[in-house]
Amino acid sequence: MIDIRFLRENPDIVRQNIKNKFQDAKLPLVDEVIALDAENRRTQQEANDLRADRNRYSKEIGNLMRKGQKEEAEAMKKKVTDADDRRAALEAKEVELAARIREIMMLIPNIIDPSVPIGPDDSANVEVERFGEPVVPQFDIPYHTEIMERFAGIDMDAAGRVSGNGFYYLLGDIARLHEAVLAYARDFMIDRGFTFCIPPFMIHGNVVEGVMSQNDMDSMMYKIEGEDLYLIGTSEHSMIGRYIDQILPEDSLPQKLTSYSPCFRKEKGAHGIEERGVYRIHQFEKQEMIIVCRPEDSMDWYERMWRYSVELFRSLDIPVRQLECCSGDLADLKVKSCDIEAWSPRQKKYFEVCSCSNLGDAQARRLKMRVKGADGKNYLPHTLNNTVVAPPRMLIAFLENNLCADGSVKIPAALRPYMGGKEVLVP
């Protein structure tokens, strides 16, 4: 959510930003919110004038009563009553206008960074750099669920009977590998100065509204029936929500946090054949990294965060690339975002495993997060998030890239302490 003052003073910039995001249907909202904002400020000014008049009238009534001018005092009281009625009506109108302004401002996308490539959808995303040599082995690589089944490591049929489509049981070495990857990712981030957190897995509706757009909320979040609670789609939601209505001391920045959580997602919409198995599921676990920082530091942190993902995946012998997200592929709150994609030797292409985002001050403004600066003035911090690992997709990349011709799976040195010292998994 952008600042209403910025929109008021720079409507053409806001309109161009909407066009750059290929959301032309939202263009009329700019004129609407400008008109509502002007009306709201007029309403506030009139209400303030009436409050000042009431104070003046009250003093005059006292003077008239002391002078014995009761008729004049009664006439003045009538003015006060009329002013109070008008003021009450204006205050009700203020509430109504403020609610509509906020509703519109929540729909207008954040101003994207000038470096973001312009394009309508993910087909216009731009490859920036590759890390590691993508290899296609001389033997066939089975689909990832077939690899897991060779280790008696997955049972999707039973999960379907118990929970429906989009769920799975992990078993044996595959389940252990899943947890090993999470534990390794946790320690990887702790070693880089991040504080490990386990957040609440349910959050209130006002927190959901503060951390994500309405479209994302509707397509992702599961609501608890009869409760003002939602299951989180990622730990970023509750981690950033932790700061709602808070004022942070500037010397506490940057806040560097790495959080574990299960994630719950509706995953609405149709998906391609390559998204069978555990590509898109309703429940998974993830290690996340979160930064809350000064505005001038956020782009530096953005660069560092996605490079952490590259470093982690390369330590597990997985080739990756960085893909810059274009304007039309950015969620409305994001200023800049990139995906880290892992190489799939079976598909002979890359697929998304991490998403790094700079949200500027959008979440801070929605949640009323502030920082008290050294000069005593409050300002809005910037927030960033990035996937460390999400093992369902990480497992796909790991198994495909570490599979051997005899069906065994190599365990890279970095992961062996988390797998009881094993150097290889044998079907």
Q: Is there a domain that residue 114 lies in?
A: no
- Let me know whether 61 and 179 are in one domain: no
pLDDT tens by residue, the chain, 427 residues: 899 999 999 999 999 999 999 999 999 999 999 999 999 999 989 888 877 777 676 666 667 676 777 777 667 677 777 777 888 888 899 999 999 999 999 999 999 999 999 999 999 999 999 999 999 999 999 999 999 999 999 999 999 999 998 899 999 999 999 999 999 999 999 999 999 999 999 999 999 999 988 777 777 889 999 999 999 999 999 999 999 999 999 999 999 999 999 999 987 554 554 557 887 889 999 999 999 999 999 999 999 999 999 999 999 999 999 999 999 999 999 999 999 999 999 999 999 999 999 999 999 999 999 999 999 999 999 999 999 999 888 999 999 999 999 999 999 999 999 999 999 999 9
Q: Is there a domain that residue 117 lies in?
A: no
Q: Is there a domain that residue 115 lies in?
A: no
Give the per-residue pLDDT at 268.
59
pTM confidence score: 0.89
CA distance 320 to 342: 4
CA distance 220 to 232: 9
- Residue 66 belongs to domain spanning: 4-105
Give the per-residue pLDDT at 20.
97
Q: Is there a domain that residue 111 lies in?
A: no
- DSSP code at position 96: H
- Let me know whether 80 and 135 are in one domain: no
Give the per-residue pLDDT at 273.
45
Q: Is there a domain that residue 110 lies in?
A: no
Q: Is there a domain that residue 406 lies in?
A: yes
Q: What is the CATH number of the domain that holds 79?
A: 1.10.287.40
Question: What is the tally of structural domains in the chain?
Answer: 2
Give the per-residue pLDDT at 339.
97
- Let me know whether 319 and 236 are in one domain: yes
CB contact at 8 A, 16 and 116: no
Q: What is the CATH number of the domain that holds 169?
A: 3.30.930.10
Indicate the SS3 state at residue 210.
helix
Give the per-residue pLDDT at 81.
75
CB contact at 8 A, 221 and 266: yes
Residue at a domain's end among 39, 74, 105: 105
- Let me know whether 262 and 201 are in one domain: yes
Cα end-to-end distance, the chain, whole Å: 51
Q: Is there a domain that residue 401 lies in?
A: yes
- Let me know whether 245 and 378 are in one domain: yes
Residue at a domain's end among 105, 135, 154: 105
- Let me know whether 34 and 135 are in one domain: no
Rounded to 5°, angle at Cα 110 from 109 and 115: 120
Q: Is there a domain that residue 176 lies in?
A: yes
- Let me know whether 130 and 18 are in one domain: no
Indicate the SS3 state at residue 162.
helix
Residue at a domain's end among 45, 80, 105: 105
Give the per-residue pLDDT at 62.
67
- Let me know whether 33 and 140 are in one domain: no
- Let me know whether 291 and 208 are in one domain: yes
Whose CA is closest to 266, among 393, 389, 165, 363? 165
- Let me know whether 61 and 189 are in one domain: no
